[in-house]
Amino acid sequence: MEFDSEIVAYDFYNEYAHSEGFSIRRASYAADKQRVLTSRTFVCCKEGLRKADKRDDLTRNPRRETMTSCGAIMGIKLVKRTGKYSVYRFSEEHNHPLINQEYVHFMPSHRKITSSDEAFLDLTANSGLSPKSAFELMGEQACGRESIRFSKVDQKNYLRTK
């Protein structure tokens, strides 16, 4: 399978991850001397393990472990003669339960504020409506808060950038 760019490959794998019930992130990459991306690896968001912290024995309420060394991966490489990226490595082996389709849009790589959502948030902010009220109104229009593809924190971060 070939892709025109790294972004197109990311979007493709992210859509695949959404349909399967997991989230992805960009991992390692390689570039040539002209800083052209020659390879990139996309992994499950649960790939890897947390580093050991020297303050562990001082921690009262440690955070729970979320990384499980998951083996799901997709690697792409640049084919010089075509200028396209080709999949050279793919594994769909997960060592953790996948998320139900009704909750997968809350995973990090799937949370998106669309341009229509941005326009609505701008309109409510300019009209003086509080962010909480705007989020609740948006939830009512979308037939429930579960249908909104972003969180209150995402909304707050978006409004701060304006």
What number is the average pLDDT over the span 137-151? 78
**What is the reported pLDDT for 54?**
66
Q: What distance separates the 2 farthest-apart alpha carbons in the chain?
A: 56
Rounded CA-CA distance 157/162 in Å is 9
**Together in a domain, 126 and 81:** no
Structure confidence by residue, pLDDT tens digits, 109-129: 888 888 888 888 888 888 888
Structure confidence by residue, pLDDT tens digits, 87-101: 999 999 999 999 888
Range of the domain at 145: 115-161
Q: How many domains does the chain have?
A: 2
**What is the reported pLDDT for 55?**
66
**Together in a domain, 25 and 93:** yes
**Together in a domain, 121 and 45:** no
Sheet holding 37-44, edge to edge: 2-3, 84-91, 73-79, 37-44, 24-31
**What is the reported pLDDT for 139?**
82
**What is the reported pLDDT for 56?**
66
**Together in a domain, 71 and 121:** no
**Together in a domain, 41 and 71:** yes
**What is the reported pLDDT for 68?**
86
Structure confidence by residue, pLDDT tens digits, 17-59: 999 999 999 999 999 999 999 999 999 998 988 777 666 677 7
**Together in a domain, 14 and 75:** yes
64 sits in which H/E element = none
pTM of the model: 0.77
121 sits in which H/E element = helix 115-126
**What is the reported pLDDT for 144?**
72
**Together in a domain, 13 and 92:** yes
What number is the average pLDDT over the span 6-12? 95
Structure confidence by residue, pLDDT tens digits, 49-84: 877 766 667 777 777 778 888 999 999 999 999 999
**Is residue 71, in this structure, part of any structural domain at all?**
yes
**Together in a domain, 6 and 85:** yes
Rounded CA-CA distance 65/86 in Å is 34
**Is residue 22, in this structure, part of any structural domain at all?**
yes
**What is the reported pLDDT for 141?**
81
Q: What are phi and psi of 26, to 5 degrees?
A: -80, 135
